[in-house]
Amino acid sequence: MSNVLQEASAAGRAIITTRRAGCGEICEDGVTGFLVNQQDTNDLINKVEKFISLSHEQKMEMGLAGRRKMEKEFDRNIVINAYLDELKNILK
């Protein structure tokens, strides 16, 4: 997963990213940012225009939703415990 996307979301910034593994888990399309189809310039243009057309309040809410998602799903303790659980499963 992209540290840049996680850090941007944790900082309360809406994100625009590619619809691919690792990005979709961080970005909820239309909620915390926008997902763009891979190698689709027109989709990227549409999503950037869509973001630009949002009000300041809508952009702020999108960023805050990303922050809440990071706190709920990607807290360091949650991630470390998930790794430890997976290691325990592998070692069994």
pTM over 0.75: yes
Residue 2's pLDDT band (cuts 50, 70, 90): confident
How far apart are the C-alpha atoms of 58 and 51, rounded to whole Å? 9
How far apart are the C-alpha atoms of 41 and 61, rounded to whole Å? 26
CB 26 within 8 A of CB 20: no
- For 46-73, the pLDDT digits (tens) are 999 999 999 999 999 999 999 999 999 9
- For 15-49, the pLDDT digits (tens) are 999 999 989 999 999 999 999 999 999 999 999 99
Contacts of 39 (CB under 8 A, 6+ apart): none
Phi, psi of 74 (to 5 degrees): -125, 20
Question: Which ranges of 1-92 would DSSP assign to H, the alpha helix?
Answer: 3-10, 41-53, 56-73, 76-91
Domains of the chain, CATH where assigned: 3-91 (3.40.50.2000)
- What DSSP state is assigned to residue 33? E
